[in-house]
Structure 1
Amino acid sequence: MSLHQECQQPLVSIVIPTYNRPDYLKQAIASAIKQTYQNIEIIISDNCSSENPQAIVASFGDPRIKFWQHPQNVGMLANQQYGFNMAQGKYVASLHDDDIWHEDFLGKLVPPLEANSDLILAFCDQYIIDANGIINHAGTEENTRAYKRDKLAKGIYKSFSKIGLVDKSIPTAASCVIRNNLVDWYSIPSEVAGMWDLYLTYLFCISGYGAYYCPERLTRYRAHEQTDTMLSGSRDVQAKIRKAKSEMFCYQVFMEDPRLQEFRTHFQQKWLEANTTLGIGLLRSEQIAAARPYFWQALNQQKFNVRTMAALSLSFTPQFLASKLIGISK
């Protein structure tokens, strides 16, 4: 592509939040640099990693890269928000430090946004890869079906609340290009924490703008031992507690939004499930008194639920026996 053509392209800001993943980070940066769409800036926001990745960043020798390291750990959401807020591009896209983009990711998703000013975002499908970067083909197909992208036609969706918040078809944090000037990045409340991408999708859905879907798999999402959903032991318990609290906050907001009343029953069900999940997490961390109110709340607002009843029963079981049985309620 000629320099003149590059200058005609709008600037795209690629935000890479990172924390203690130097090897993966190097691959993520490389995939950003190799984009066929070249008018980019790459913003790397490091959340005070124990091993400073500045040397890795400098090794690329690319003047389009901007690096910032927080002097202390500010949390996942604040680190992500900092990167977004620094973005100068007309469009912005989040690239996780452990994920990889296909070289045509931006080249395929920016043009639809340029062609239609009524779109707030463009998104695509994704591959699932393991820790070594190998594609998990069965996992990829399962992921596409789970988020109903196999049923999603290519093109523009003027109203996409069901796609975004019920089916969760839009991978906002990993496979999405966003029109920058339509989002107040600091309007995302701290309570959403790790569920910031779901809350951001909510903001997109209520914006009045549309979305574009490209059914190609243009990103590679890495599932590995450092992913929250794959942690084990006490770290797994704490991750579940954090996630459940974030989900409860998000679904409470969704339930109360009059623009989303047609989906209120769904959001209420998800909120109740999060209550049970939080209770189970507290139970597993031996906070029995704190766990029970969440079980009662879930039971008071829904019909008989086996998972909730089993967890509540375990809270009245002697601790030594409950610890052997708690697995049925995970």
Structure 2
Amino acid sequence: MFAKPKVSIITPTYNTSRYVEKALESALAQVEQNIEVIVVDDASTDNTVEVVNSFCDPRIKLLVNESHQGPSYSRNRALKEAKGEWIALLDSDDWYAPKRLEKLLQVAEKENADLVADDLYVITEGENTPWSITIFKKNRIKLDQPKQIDLIYFIERHLSVTKPLIKLSFLVKHNLKFNESLKYEEDFVLFFFCLLKGSRFIILPEPYYFYQIRAGSLMKEYVEFYEQACQTNLSLLQQECTKKNPQLKRALLKRLNFMKQTRAFYRVRQAFKEGGFFTGLTEVILNPNFLPVLWEKLPGIFRYYFLHRLNTN
């Protein structure tokens, strides 16, 4: 065992017994072995805790919340326990490629970074061949080498979904942590203020993170997510730093418009799925700004239903 871990991997869990084993196996299989894995279970009602306890590796540390507190609370609890120089985020239904931490650390040290993030593969649960779909490709980001990004680029390219390696000393110096009042968008807000405080945020073109979209996710969860995203964005627009920075204000207003359109899309989709044709039609009339998002998502929708029909025949 190492005297001090290089990286503290933080994994909050809540009723993810079906997925957490793969996530933890990918963490322990890292080429960079000088790690600790801090799992914070948020009062799961399934056997998630039993699955985590089945691992005998001393690098895994399990904390269990007495009651359900939300992901931000769990992550902050892990931050207080972290002993590593770097913090790595790993959601309990995602996983890492074996060389991920090694590659990120190499770039972080070469570039003197405070945050460094890779691209992500987007995987729909149950699919086996989604490897051509990445977040950077979706957001039209073209890189052939590491790139330092600023706050405007981060907002305009929708990079809050990334899972950067974060220098713990930077968070401590600027008293930054996850906003525990947020169920969603806590990543975006933390990274926003990291960049606002002058962090060196480097992104690299290769994808080493596997980001899973659960096929059974409820439509209302998407509506709730984008509802909170709109409220979070409005709150940031009220910050003094935003009011004094016209470029930042324009970027947040553009993001807010996108979030409103996406919220409208999921409201319409939920209405058709749960309320039927006439309920859906009413929602279309109330939310006409969903059309740009529908047009963007049509190829994916057709692809999903084609694969679903193919698998059920």
**Residue 246 of structure 2 corresponds to which residue in structure 1?**
261
Q: Is the 8 A contact 2:75 2:178 kept in 1?
A: no
2:37 is aligned with 1:42: yes
In the TM superposition, structure 1's runs of 4+ consecutive aligned residues that sit over 6 Å from their partners are 276-286
Question: 1:250-329, aligned counterparts within 5 Å?
Answer: 250-254=233-237, 256=239, 257-258=241-242, 260-272=245-257, 274=259, 323-326=279-282, 328=284, 329=287
For 1:129 and 1:279, the matched residues in 2 are separated by: 24
2:39 is aligned with 1:27: no
Question: Larger Cα Rg: Structure 1 or Structure 2?
Answer: 1
Shift of 1:110: 0.9
Q: Higher mean Cα deviation, 122-131 or 14-23?
A: 122-131
Q: Deviations over 1:208-265 (max 9, x none)?
A: 1212222111111111225xxx42xxxx235413431343223431463246431312
For 2:152 and 2:61, the matched residues in 1 are separated by: 36
Q: Is the 8 A contact 1:195 1:243 kept in 2?
A: no
Equivalent position amino acid for 2:256 in 1: W
The number of aligned residues is 279
Q: Is the 8 A contact 1:154 1:212 kept in 2?
A: no
Equivalent position amino acid for 2:106 in 1: P
For 1:13 and 1:181, the matched residues in 2 are separated by: 13
Equivalent position amino acid for 2:248 in 1: F
**Residue 204 of structure 1 corresponds to which residue in structure 2?**
194
Equivalent position amino acid for 1:183 in 2: L
For residue 137 of structure 1, the aligned residue among 126, 131, 137 is: 131
Structure 2: which 5+ runs fail to align?
A: 291-313
Shift of 1:204: 2.1
Structure 1: which 5+ runs fail to align?
A: 287-318
Q: Higher mean Cα deviation, 97-106 or 319-328?
A: 319-328
Q: Deviations over 1:259-293 (max 9, x none)?
A: 6431312312433554676689889999xxxxxxx
Q: Secondary structure of the equivalent of 1:26?
A: helix
For 2:92 and 2:127, the matched residues in 1 are separated by: 13
Aligned-pair Cα RMSD in Å: 3.1
**Residue 114 of structure 1 corresponds to which residue in structure 2?**
109
**Residue 145 of structure 2 corresponds to which residue in structure 1?**
154
Q: Deviations over 1:152-207 (max 9, x none)?
A: 342241x52133111123543x3x21101111576443444310111122022112
2:38 is aligned with 1:55: no
Task: Decide whether aligned partners of structure 1 residues 186 and 52 sit closer, same or farther in structure 2, where only a CA change above 3 A counts.
Answer: farther
Task: Decide whether aligned partners of structure 1 residues 163 and 181 sit closer, same or farther in structure 2, where only a CA change above 3 A counts.
Answer: same
Q: Is the 8 A contact 1:248 1:274 kept in 2?
A: no
Equivalent position amino acid for 2:6 in 1: L
2:232 is aligned with 1:249: yes
Q: Is the 8 A contact 1:244 1:277 kept in 2?
A: no
For 2:214 and 2:51, the matched residues in 1 are separated by: 22
Shift of 1:321: 8.6
Q: Secondary structure of the equivalent of 2:158?
A: coil
Q: Is the 8 A contact 2:152 2:251 kept in 1?
A: no
Shift of 1:46: 0.7
TM-score by length of structure 2 reads 0.77
TM-score by length of structure 1 reads 0.73
2:219 is aligned with 1:219: no
Task: Decide whether aligned partners of structure 1 residues 321 and 25 sit closer, same or farther in structure 2, where only a CA change above 3 A counts.
Answer: closer
Equivalent position amino acid for 1:179 in 2: K
**Residue 293 of structure 2 corresponds to which residue in structure 1?**
none
